[in-house]
Structure 1
């Protein structure tokens, strides 16, 4: 896969960041995983750590895409107050633990966890009430914030998905529309992105000593630069569509995208 193609595909990360709060992880992780697997032989440090590299690069790309999307969403007045803090602080704590855990696991174990979690999330969205249809909009309150925040941070940093796979359904069930939940997923992805990228950089330096050229720890720098550039373009392209997709259709597209990403990682 050409690195130049990453810039084009990176545009998709910006689009999904704005419209679905994905932070790019659901696009970047499979993309970088297959890129690394195709460019390294079995037994190489890159091949054996392909999933960690994909997850780490995804968290680094999210620093850029989620930050720009957060600023733009805030200026447009789409961020509902009272949901970011203190949840973001607990997410950051969980992200540190998640990155350490992900660095200690095998690449295949992280990949299996990614696929399994997507499957569980899709089933939860389809069969548990409150996602395809919004719940009572007057009951906008989150419960168990510390535990939920730490759990979101651990899973998000471990899988490189920015937390949107957990925050969007959670916010939907608190009574928010898909547009509101997706917008809030951007600032809630930032603590995962910043804490996770830092930890994966440090842990990779310690655990993958044979991969210094083009890497900062587990972070694949050429892919990071090109994907970040593409994601910025995608954010700007998608902003005019934010909040304009019918709510139920928006929720269905969210689930469909999760299924596509999961299938892309089933094929090794």
Structure 2
């Protein structure tokens, strides 16, 4: 039954990863939080296990998603190269920071963050989406300098580890802020999810092993069976989500993305307060 539940979570998370470029974490973290709570895992470890396992599964999800977006020409590889070093360093050490924060505070932090991003994305959708990555003369004009992109990657990496959501909730708004069209932002975000997931998963395993996690079938803050079940299913459904993303309008995609984040944010605030 547990494996079946993990497979269902993987199917939903994979589709969300391909559709929104969020690595599926916005689906995985709250659902794993519910499942791990029902499995009577220690309350102090539930949120950390949900975050660490989420990042581990995003390794597989992001590979499938970025391959699909790459075929559609949706990944801006020069931007990815600028962001990646900061993403890796930030996410690894962000896992260490998350390990020092109580589960209750993590729930509240994640909830507030998602509501803020949802608000910015929903109302930002009324504005013109902007030009593509390259203008008519094939010149890159929208994004900041390489050092600033590197710094942004570090911030996104730290936040991604704390939120366990693959970075899409920050990477997508960051890129669309500079007038990158939504499909390009989603595709590049999907690619950025890979270094985030690898560094974050290793960080949660490493820092989790420094603490006593009294839960079977875990490596640090990563649940092995949940990782396997979610990864297997999400690999296939991420491709479906990516195809759907390129069929929708940028405005509609933004609206759907913001509604998803809003619902998940409210859930975490509710669980943190009640």
- How does the TM-score come out when normalised to structure 2? 0.89
Are 2:163 and 1:172 aligned?
no
The structural deviation recorded for 1:166 is: 0.8
Partner of 1:187: 191
Q: 1:59 aligns with which of 55, 59, 62?
A: 55
Match of 2:108 among 109, 112, 117: 112
Matches for 1:136-151 after TM superposition, within 5 Å: 136-137=131-132, 138=135, 139-143=141-145, 144-151=148-155
Secondary structure of 1:203's match?
helix
- Give CA deviations for 1:30-84 in whole Å, capped at 9, x if unaligned: 01111111211xxx6x321111000000000000000121123223322134210
Query: Structure 1 residues 239 and 136 mapped into 2: Cα distance closer, same or farther (>3 Å)?
Result: closer
Count, aligned residues: 262
Structure 2 match to 1:246: 249
Tell me the residue number matched to 1:78: 74
| 2:185 alignment partner, SS class | helix
Query: Is the alpha carbon distance of 1:69 and 1:126 closer, same or farther for their aligned partners in structure 2, counting shifts above 3 Å?
Result: closer
Contact 1:24 1:161 in 2 (8 A): yes
2: CA distance, partners of 1:164 / 1:109:
22
SS in 1 for 2:226: helix
In structure 2, relative to structure 1, the CA distance for the partners of 1:131 and 1:165 (3 Å cut) is farther
Task: Give the Å deviation of 1:230.
Answer: 1.7
Q: CA RMSD in A?
A: 1.9
TM-score (norm 1): 0.91
Q: Which residue of 2 aligns with 1:228?
A: 231
Q: Give the Å deviation of 1:219.
A: 0.6
Pair 1:50 & 2:46 matched = yes
| 1:256 partnered with 2:246 | no
Structure 1 residues 132, 100: closer, same or farther in 2, change over 3 A?
A: farther
Please say if residues 132 and 248 of structure 1, whose CA atoms lie closer than 8 Å, have aligned partners that are also in contact: no
Q: How far apart in 1 are the matches of 2:233 and 2:127?
A: 31
Report deviation, 1:170: 1.1
2:138 corresponds in structure 1 to: none
Give 5+ residue unaligned stretches, structure 1.
none
Which string of whole-angstrom CA distances, capped at 9 and with x for unpartnered residues, describes residues 209-248 of structure 1? 433x210111111111111112012113324323110111
How far, CA to CA, are the matches of 2:240 and 2:122 in structure 1?
29
Following the alignment from structure 2 to structure 1, what is the Cα–Cα distance between the partners of residues 126 and 232?
32
Q: Which runs of 4+ in 1 moved over 6 A?
A: none
Question: Does the alignment pair 1:4 with 2:4?
Answer: yes
Are 1:89 and 2:85 matched, yes or no?
A: yes
Alpha carbons of 1:152 and 1:210: their partners in 2 closer, same or farther (altered >3 Å)?
Answer: same
Query: Which of 157, 164, 184 matches 1:153?
Result: 157
Name the residue aligned to 1:124.
120
Distance 1:252 1:180, change over 3 A: same
